[in-house]
Amino acid sequence: MSRSAATWILTAQCPSRLGTVDVVTRFLKESRCYITEQQSFDDRHAERFFIRTEFRPQDPDFDAQAFQAAFASRADEFEMAFELTAPDERTPVVIMVSKADHCLNDLLYRYRTGQLPIDIRAVVSNHPDLQPLADWHGLPYYHFPITPETKADQEARVWQVIEESGAELVILARYMQVLSSEMCERLAGRAINIHHSLLPGFKGAKPYHQAYEKGVKLVGATAHYINDDLDEGPIITQGVEAVSHADYPEDLVAKGRDIECLTLARAVGYHLERRVFLHRGKTVVFAR
């Protein structure tokens, strides 16, 4: 992570009005907070303003509650909704998987090395295959098999794990099941999925083999928030890599795995760093 261990994050959005940047920067100056990074965007179509600021308090006794209370009075004038994130915050996470291990393994490595500030509360799967990987990391592993007849009961058990673990984010790291409309609604804005991204679109089994037969020249991946439209939720990040006639199906699969890992990790990182705003069914993303 590029973020300093001592920086706080202030994110906000409001109707487009004169002085929206000033109300943030002026307050931070008056509060003796040094701005280390700032990005903003004004959606002129929606007349909506978004801002994300990283800052470092100059006073060692910085009081977050007092800061928020004081800024709230300024923000009210602009109908500004805001959130303050502490530098040491570790988001509680549940990871959902099936049989493929590449995305899970990558996330666990980044978790173990501190690259992702997450607190993994559980790994949930519809197969037992990846339990040894979770066990090696000392993480609870829940195996909930699923059939069309048991889907509702299985999702109820998954939801119980999410609720009891206190997870604020769910990561679908190649979880190969379609979530119900009810589950999608419950997890709106706090569940990230990853899938291949190929043109033209190849649905069904062995998409990379289908792509090979068509002679594709690009393979990619898309990470997005889930919604009730399969693989069509608000996009956070996408990755792509050029391929050629010299790449066989197994080569496309291998490159696809790498892109999926990187794209998912980047999306999760952006979410954790409060770089993503959900807006009108899509996203505003302040990438780094």
pLDDT computed for residue 155 by the predictor? 96
| CATH number of the domain enclosing 39 | 3.30.70.260
- Residue 197, pLDDT > 90, answer no
| Per-position DSSP letters for 73-99, written without gaps between them | HHHHTTT-EEEEE-TT--EEEEEEE-S
Q: What is the pTM of this model?
A: 0.93
Query: Percentage of residues in the chain with pLDDT exceeding 70?
Result: 98
Confidence grade of residue 229 (pLDDT, cut at 50, 70, 90): confident
Across 105-244, the runs of DSSP E, i.e. the strands, are: 118-125, 141-143, 169-172, 191-196, 218-225, 235-242
Same domain, 59 and 172: no
Among 42, 43, 228, 231, the one annotated catalytic? 231
- One-letter amino acid at 86 equals A
Instruction: Provide the residue range defining the domain that includes 268.
Output: 93-285
Residue at which a domain ends, from 66, 85, 104: 85
Q: In this prediction, what percent of the chain has a pLDDT beyond 90?
A: 88
Average pLDDT in the chain? 94
| Position 199 pLDDT exceeds 90 | no
Average pLDDT of span 113-134: 96
Q: Torsion-angle region of residue 260: left (phi > 0), alpha (psi -120 to 50) or beta?
A: alpha
What would the pLDDT profile of 125-172 be if each residue is shown by its tens digit?
999 999 999 999 999 999 999 998 999 999 999 999 999 999 999 999
Task: Tell which residue, 175, 161, 269, has the closest CA to residue 231.
Answer: 175
Question: Model confidence over 60-92: pLDDT tens digits?
Answer: 999 999 999 999 999 999 999 999 999 989 999
Alpha carbon distance 202, 236 (integer Å): 21
Residue 1 lies in a domain: no
| Domains: count for the chain | 2
User: Which domain-ending residue is among 52, 85, 118?
Assistant: 85
Active site residue 231: yes
Reply yes or no on whether the pLDDT at 231 is more than 80: no
